[in-house]
Amino acid sequence: MREKTDLRNPPGADPRSGGNWRFYNARMPPIPDRPSLEGLDERWSAVWDADETFRFDRSRTRAEIFSIDTPPPTVSGSLHVGHVLSYTHTDTVARFQRMRGREVFYPMGWDDNGLPTERRVQNYYGVRCDPHLQFDPDFVAPDKPGKEVVPISRPNFLELCARLVAEDEKAFEKLWRRLGLSVDWSMTYTTIGREAQRTSQLAFLKNLARGEAYQADAPTLWDVDFRTAVAQAELEDRETAGAYHALRFHKADGSGDLLIETTRPELLAACVAVVAHPDDDRYQALFDTEVTTPLYGARVPVVAHRLADPEKGTGIAMICTFGDTTDVTWWRELQLPTRAIVGADGRLKSDAPETLSAAGAEAYAEIAGKTVKQAQKVVVEQLRTSGELDGDPRPITHPVKFYERGDRPLEIVTSRQWYIRNGGRDPELRAALLARGREVNWIPAYMRARYESWIEGLTGDWLISRQRFFGVPFPVWYRIDADGNVLRDEPLLAPEDALPVDPSTDAPPGYTEDRRDRANGFTADPDVMDTWATSSVTPEIATGWASDPDLFARTFPMDLRPQAYDIIRTWLFSTIVRSHFEFDTVPWAHAAISGFVLDPDRKKMSKSKGNVVVPMEWLEKYGADAVRYWAANGRPGTDTAFDEGQIKIGRKLAIKILNVSRFVLTVSEGAGEDRSVVTHALDRSMLAELAALVDDTTAALDQFDYARAIERTERFFWSFCDDYVELVKGRAYGVAGDEAARSAQAALRIALSHLLRLFAPFLVYVTEEAWSWWREGSIHRVSWPEAGELRLDGADPLVFTVAADVLGAVRKEKSEQKRSLATPVDRVVVRDTEHRLAALDAARSDVRDAGKIAGDVETEIGPELLVKVELAPVTDA
RNA sequence: GGGCGUUUAGCUCAGUUGGGAGAGCGCCUCCCUUACAAGGAGGAGGUCGGGGGUUCGAGACCCUCAACGCCCACCA
């Protein structure tokens, strides 16, 4: 059959009308006899790369462009199926928009700065950054961690970070390419890269100039292991074992004792007051008097505050500086003194607070230098001995605040930090940011509730400085006066045109390097920005705000922010904050929120549970299209169970697409796609249903509902394969004459062309492969189907439906009789409504042919479909 | 304590103007039919979480309760 090809396609025939133009294109593979998925992924991703299929054309105008604020994955972790899920979602949208005619701005970023990378480098090489060490140009990183952790200088450490992330990024890109993400790889950025640093520093300086960023000395949540401040957004509560300890405070007038329960007796020395609710009758007499602390004999006032809960413990609490965030509130609102005893290393300071009695100071000496945990044991023993512990501690479990990456409970330590206002202490700004949230189109809509409840619960501004190394430094220095004092309140700012700067190696304007860290000189701000402070300007980084005004004008504000719901309070919120300040606008029109991947038992996947699925294994086992199929069925915002079964179905679908494409192209070889030859009612009926499908999926994808789109397309596709193709197969082969054959052939090709394009955003490789068998160029650059051209005059969707119903009834009879589907049928009687019988009449010969019905299909009018089938008798042959 | 989501066949889930209870997997039966046996055809299986209401009619709309999951919260 294949050798007829050149006869049917004389030179000069329009290859676009369905001819076998592959003869004119050396790269076109012939249609394989047995289509297979093997090697498709690699072959086509190489072609896309070579042809720059997904290159962004920056000459297009803003209205023609669809720009995507891609989430930069943290490269120090490993990519897991959760990434595959959400990045596939975004890619389907990108490919749809591209086919709809938008020029898609779809860069990839790598989030490589920050603590996760530092931690990975520490573990990978067995090193630790000591900023006091000098750069060692001859330093050679160990191949693997030694027994002792090797302290290395900051520049050496940063070099190792850069080296490791470069390797990680290569592996990530490889996976993304295999998955078939249609990003323009020439636009990739990294969050530690020069452009990101320049953008972050510029945005910070502008925030500072407008008063949106500021420095403050204040109690902050502090991770004692990482020795850095931590922002509210990075907190998580963990149920932790603790105990109520009833401590015996002494009334100052000697009239007796006062029992106060606490879970943190080790902080007793830091007690600055005790507090009860202003309406609590039990303590009215005590307000404005003083009590003496047990063990330490310090005199502290009894104060009233609404946050004291009469129901908790004895209804009266001790206020320490600082045991928890409520202490901070009390301290601030009641203007209490500060007696901090926990240091940045999580150990009790060596010096006792001055207010302790002499005996108290001795008691304190026993806990100085200990960790809070060790100190608690000692203090409890001391209290027991002094008789000031009432009864035994009562064990409880209670939520305690942890840094999300940390291992020990957070302490509260006073330190000087940089902040950006976020509405945490400014009702007007809070309202403005809530309003911004309503400007964004949330997908799904209910995800906005998370954004709003986060803003409503903010307790302070956004702490952006971290006492770490592999991050964007603050472009700030401080003068040192003649006496060697660092003048913190007079920062020296980097000029904008000098950005990015590293104040630890660059000197501020007007100074030379020899004045660093000396009297009458300068010193660098030692901190780096938190990773979210950089991530919050990903739209600005990606669109070239700081360096490419032309690109920026064409791509910002962006169209789409895709991300998962867990970082609404961090990435999404902070991005809106920055854009609100800088541009007085939202950064993007749509926020498409993905869910998480659960293991097959619907448990959250995590490394510690050992149920993490490595994506590359599945890509290699079933092919990228199969994995993408699974991902595309995960609905927006909804958690999706990892399901190998679904991937297998995706693989089956992919193979089916190749096979049916092969069949359609083979049976219709030489036919065109001229709608005017589609004269047969069944063919026109099928195309009418296809038109409805195009409308449905287009509307769904316009609303980012990729799951609905693929589900509908798949449903139609199977009915197309099982029913339509079977019904018209004989006619397409020519059993009913040339005109009838041409109608079927053209309809088959038109339907295939449309179905391949409807599947293209999802099953990117097989659609490209099948497309290449008969069309020039990438399917991913052709236009999305239009329903209008499928709607032919007088087409009745019912014809296809009824014909398929009757064919199904015939099959059912054969199945129930345990006969082959090839069994001839002697007689068929269809009873149905007049309307449906009329529809059937239009496809009568196709039904007879597909059902192997020897006689005519008899009909009689009835209330509903009832088919009587008489099979040919069994023969002994 | 406040909020959001989910609850449909054994499993994973569709069901978008209220009128047929559905798909795939799994299970059972059958079939090598000239695109496809790493296929194909067919079957069994559900008082749509409970209760109330609106309606000629509710899986879908309203009220209420429950279970599960998640987010937020000043958790001594």
Protein residue nearest nucleotide B36, by CA to C1': A659
Residue nearest to nucleotide B38 (CA to C1'): A652
Residues A490-497 have a mean pLDDT of: 95
A39: left (phi over 0), alpha (psi -120 to 50) or beta: left
Give A591-636 pLDDT, tens digit per residue: 999 998 887 666 666 555 555 668 888 999 999 999 999 999 999 9
Which nucleotide lies closest to A823 by the C1' atom and the CA atom? B33
Token output for A6:
């050149």
Nucleotide closest to residue A262 (CA–C1'): B76
Higher pLDDT, A510 or A239: A510
Tell me the C-alpha distance between A155 and A161, whole Å. Answer: 10
pLDDT of residue A817: 87
CA A655 to CA A649: how far, in whole Å?
10
Q: Mean of the per-residue pLDDT values for chain A?
A: 91
Distance CA A872, CA A316 (A): 93
Q: A723: which nucleotide lies closest, measuring CA to C1'?
A: B41
Q: Which nt sits closest to A715, CA to C1'? A: B23
Number of H helices, E strands in chain A: 26, 30
Lowest mean pLDDT among A167-171, A498-502, A640-644: A640-644
* Residue whose token pair is 């069925």: A633
Tell me the nt nearest to A239, Cα to C1': B75
Q: What is the mean pLDDT of residues A86-97?
A: 96
User: Could you tell me the distance in Å between the CA of residue A35 and the C1' of nucleotide B37?
Assistant: 15
Residues A8-28: what's their mean pLDDT? Answer: 38
Specify the pLDDT at position A16: 37
Strand B nucleotides with an atom less than 7 Å from a protein beta carbon: 2-5, 12-16, 23-26, 29-33, 35-36, 38-43, 69-76
Interface ipTM: 0.94
Cβ contact A72:A522 at 8 Å: no
**Predicted local confidence at residue A847, as pLDDT:** 93
Q: Which residues contact A875 (CB under 8 A, 6 or more apart)?
A: none
pLDDT at A20: 37
- For residues A800 and A683, what is the distance between their CA atoms, to the nearest angstrom? 8
Is it the case that residue A772 has pLDDT exceeding 90?
A: yes
pLDDT of res. A601: 63
pLDDT-derived band at A473 (thresholds 50, 70, 90) equals: very high
Average pLDDT over residues A748-757: 96
Average pLDDT of span A733-747: 94
Length A566 CA → B70 C1' (Å): 10
Nearest nucleotide (CA of A308 to C1'): B76
Q: Which nucleotide lies at the shortest CA–C1' distance from A38?
A: B38
Query: What is the arithmetic mean of pLDDT over A578-582?
Result: 98
User: Highest mean pLDDT range out of A257-271, A396-410, A822-836?
Assistant: A257-271
User: Which nucleotide lies nearest residue A243, CA to C1'?
Assistant: B76
Q: Report the nucleotide nearest the CA of residue A719, measured to C1'.
A: B23
pLDDT at residue A875, as a whole number: 64
**Residue A667 scores a pLDDT above 90:** yes
Nearest residue to nucleotide B22, by CA–C1' distance, is: A715
A847 CA to B63 C1' distance (Å): 52
pLDDT of residue A311: 83
For B30, nearest residue by CA–C1' is A818
Span CA (A449) to C1' (B70), Å = 12
Q: From the CA of A199 to the C1' of B41: give the distance in Å.
A: 62
Query: Tell me, in Å, how far CA of A527 is from C1' of B45?
Result: 64
Residue A296 in tokens: 């330490």
A723 CA from B22 C1′ (Å): 18
**Which nucleotide has its C1' atom closest to residue A33's CA?**
B35
The DSSP result for A153-213, as a single string, is -HHHHHHHHHHHHHHHHHHHHHHHHHHT----GGG-EETTSHHHHHHHHHHHHHHHHTTSE
The 3-class SS string of A583-634 reads HCCCCEEEEEEECCEECCCCCECCHHHCCCCCHHHHHHHHCHHHHHHHHHCC
What is the per-residue pLDDT across A802-837, written as a single tens digit (0 to 9) for each?
999 999 999 988 888 888 888 889 889 999 888 889
Strand (E) or helix (H) holding A251: strand A235-251
Q: Give the closest residue to B23 (Cα–C1′).
A: A715
Q: What is the pLDDT of residues A160-218, one digit of tens each?
A: 999 999 999 999 999 999 999 999 999 999 999 999 999 999 999 999 999 999 999 99
Measured CA A585 to C1' B13 distance, in angstroms: 39
User: Distance (Å) from CA A543 to C1' B72?
Assistant: 33
- Strands (DSSP E) contained in A373-495 are 394-403, 411-420, 441-443, 462-463, 465-466, 476-480, 486-493
Residue nearest to nucleotide B31 (CA to C1'): A820
- For residue A519, how many C-alpha atoms fall within 13 Å in the half-sphere facing its CB? 3
Q: What is the 3-state secondary structure (H, E, C) of A652-684?
A: HHHHHHHHHHHHHHHHCCCCCCCHHHCCCHHHH
pLDDT at A857: 87
Of A333 and A558, the one with more pLDDT: A558
Q: Residue A608's pLDDT is what?
A: 53
CA atom of A591 to C1′ atom of B17, Å: 27
pLDDT > 70: percent of chain A: 95
Q: φ, ψ for residue A702 (rounded to 5)? A: -60, -30
**Burial bucket for residue A102 (CB in 10 Å: 0-12, 13-18, 19+):** middle
Nearest to A575 by CA among A706, A431, A420: A420
As a rounded value in angstroms, the CA-to-C1' distance for A772 and B33 is 29
**A255-289 burial code (b ≥16 CB/10 A, e <16):** eeebebbbbbbbbbbbbbbbbbbeebeebeebeee
pLDDT at A14: 38
Q: Is the pLDDT of residue A18 over 50?
A: no
pLDDT the model gives residue A121:
92
Confidence check: pLDDT of A676 > 90: yes
Give the CA A207 to C1' B62 distance in Å.
49
Q: For residue A323, which nucleotide's C1' is closest to its Cα? A: B76
pLDDT in tens, A138-148: 999 888 898 99
Task: Please tell me the predicted confidence (pLDDT) of residue A523.
Answer: 97
**Model pTM above 0.80:** yes
**Which strand (E) or helix (H) includes residue A580?**
helix A573-583
At residue A766, does pLDDT exceed 80? yes
Question: Which residue gives the smallest C-alpha to C1' distance to B26?
Answer: A645
- pLDDT, residue A24, reads 38
Smallest CA–C1' distance to B35, residue = A663
Cα(A67)–Cα(A587) distance, rounded to whole angstroms?
A: 11
Residue A511 CA to residue A330 CA, distance in Å, equals: 44
Query: Gap from A715 CA to B22 C1', in Å?
Result: 12
CA torsion, ordered A82, A542, A65, A771, to nearest 10 deg: -50
Quick check: A423 pLDDT over 90?
yes
Instruction: Give mean pLDDT, residues A730-759.
Output: 95
Q: What is the pLDDT of residue A457?
A: 92
What residues have CB less than 8 Å from A518, skipping those under 6 apart? A480
Section A337-366 average pLDDT: 93
Q: What residue has its CA nearest to the C1' of B32?
A: A820
CA at A83, C1' at B22: how many angstroms apart?
Answer: 31
pLDDT of residue A641: 86
In angstroms, the CA of A869 and the C1' of B57 are apart by 35
